[in-house]
Amino acid sequence: MRIFKFSPLLVGFSVAILIFVISLAVSGTFSNSLFRSGFSVTTGDVEFVKIIPSKRPGDPPIFAYWISGTRGEKEKILRLLKAVYHPRNQYLLHLDAGASTWERNQLSLSVQSKRVFSAFGNVNVVGRAYAVDQTGSSALAATLHAAAVLLKISLDWDWFITLSASDYPIVTQDDLLHAFTSLPKDLNFIQQRKEYRMTNLIVVDRNLYSSKNTRVLDSNEIRSTPDAFKIFEGSPWTILSRPFMEYCLHGWDNLPRKLLMYFTNVAHPLEAYFQTVLCNSPQFQNTTISNYLWYIELDTPPQVGPHALSMAHYDVMVGSGAAFARPFKEGDIVLQKVDEHILRRPSDDVVPGKWCSGCWKEGACSKWGGIDMVEPGPYGKKLKRFVSKLAAERLQSSQCNSNR
C-alpha cells in the first residue's frame, strides 16, 4: 500500500467539496440535470391513469430504494429492480462514472420501455454520472444525494433502503410491506457498536472533485479522538426512516453537518456516519433497532471480505430472518432458486403481488388492480413476527446505550 502525506489545505478542500455537493443536493440544484423523473405514462397507443398510493392508517408503508452500480452492472440493476418492484414504492437508479454513457442510456431506455414502470411512473434514473469509491466519502455524498432526490420526487415514503447491484431480496415486496405495516415510522434498522477502528486515520477521496472513479488516497496522518461526540460503527447496509434522513440532510441542530465534515476524511464513512448521527442525537437515539435485516456471508478472512453466496448458504440464508442478502454474482444458480422458490418471479419480469395477482399472461403482469393491499406469504408472516419482536425489545432499552 502506498502511503501519502497531505497538507491541511488539501484535506480542507475535500471537506469543502463534500459540503458543497450535499448543499446542492438539498437545495435541488442538481434535480433537472442529474436525474430523469416523471417518465411518461403513455406507452404506444395506451394511456395510463397514474395511481397514487393511499396513506390512510393501516395502509402498507412506502419504501424509497436507492439502487447503485458501476461498469458492467446494468443487467444486475435491472434484475434487482424487478425483484424489489412494487407500485407503492419509489426507485432511484444510478450507474457511477465507471460505467459508460452508452450503458447509462441503455439502463434508462430499458426502464422506460417496461410497461409497468411507465404506468406507475415511480422509477427514476440518474442521468449524469458522478465518481464514487465505496470506501470513501464520495459514497456517503452519493447516498445523501439520493435521499435528497427521492425527497424531492415524493414526500410520501417512509423508509430509505440502499442496495448495490450485488444485493438481492429474499422476501417479496408484499412480504416486506406487510412486515413493516404496523411498525412505528420512526424506527431505524441499523447495526451500531461503539468503536474507533479507522476514524483517526486521515484519507482523501479524490472522487469528490474527479470526473472518473479514482482510488481513495491513504496517508500516515493521524488525528486525535474527538471528545465532542462518540463514534459508533456498524454495517453500511441500513433501512433508515424518512424523518431521520430529513434530519441528516437539513441538520437543524448542526450535528449532522458537523459530523459530515468530520467524516469527509475518514475511510469507510458509510460504516459510521449514520450510526454516529443516530446515537449522538437525543431525538433519534432511541429509534434504533440493532438489526439491519441483511444476510451477508462473512466466513472468509476479514482482509479478503465476503465472497459470493452459493447453494451451500441457501438454507441458512432463508432461515436467517433477513429481508435481503449479499453478495450475489449475476447468473448464479442461487439467484435462480430465490426467484423460483421464494419470489415466484417469472423470467425477465417483476415479482407478482396482490396488486397484479391472477393477472399474469404469457409470463407478464398484463393488468393490475389496487396497490394498497398486500398478500404476504409464509416468509412475510415470519418476517412480521421477527421485526415486531425487535421493535418490542427496542422499547426496553436504548440500543445505543446498550453498546457503550
Q: Kindly report, residue by residue over 373-393, the tens digit of the pLDDT.
A: 999 999 999 999 999 999 998
Which of 15-19, 239-243, 302-306 is predicted most confidently? 239-243
Q: What is the per-residue pLDDT for 401?
A: 62
Q: Give the integer Cα–Cα distance in Å for 50 and 42.
A: 10
Mean pLDDT for 304-326 is: 79
Beta strands in 200-263 (DSSP E): 201-204, 217-222, 232-233, 239-241
Mean pLDDT estimate for the chain: 83
Query: pLDDT class for 278, splitting at 50, 70, 90?
Result: very high
Mean pLDDT for 263-273 is: 92
Query: pLDDT class for 169, splitting at 50, 70, 90?
Result: very high
Query: pLDDT class for 312, splitting at 50, 70, 90?
Result: confident
Cis peptide before 301 (omega within 30 of 0): no
Question: 52 near 62, Cβ under 8 Å?
Answer: no
Chain position carrying cell 412505528: 184
**pTM for the whole thing?**
0.86
Q: What is the per-residue pLDDT for 23?
A: 52
Q: What is the per-residue pLDDT for 25?
A: 46
Alpha helices in 241-318 (DSSP H): 242-250, 255-263, 273-280, 314-318
Residue-range domain boundaries for the chain: 25-38+58-403
* Pairs from 359-364 (Cβ < 8 Å, separation ≥ 24): none
Q: What is the per-residue pLDDT for 262?
A: 92
Question: 158 near 125, Cβ under 8 Å?
Answer: no
Sign (positive/negative) of CA torsion 117, 111, 323, 187? negative
Dihedral, CA of residue 103, residue 107, residue 109 and residue 114, to nearest 10: 150
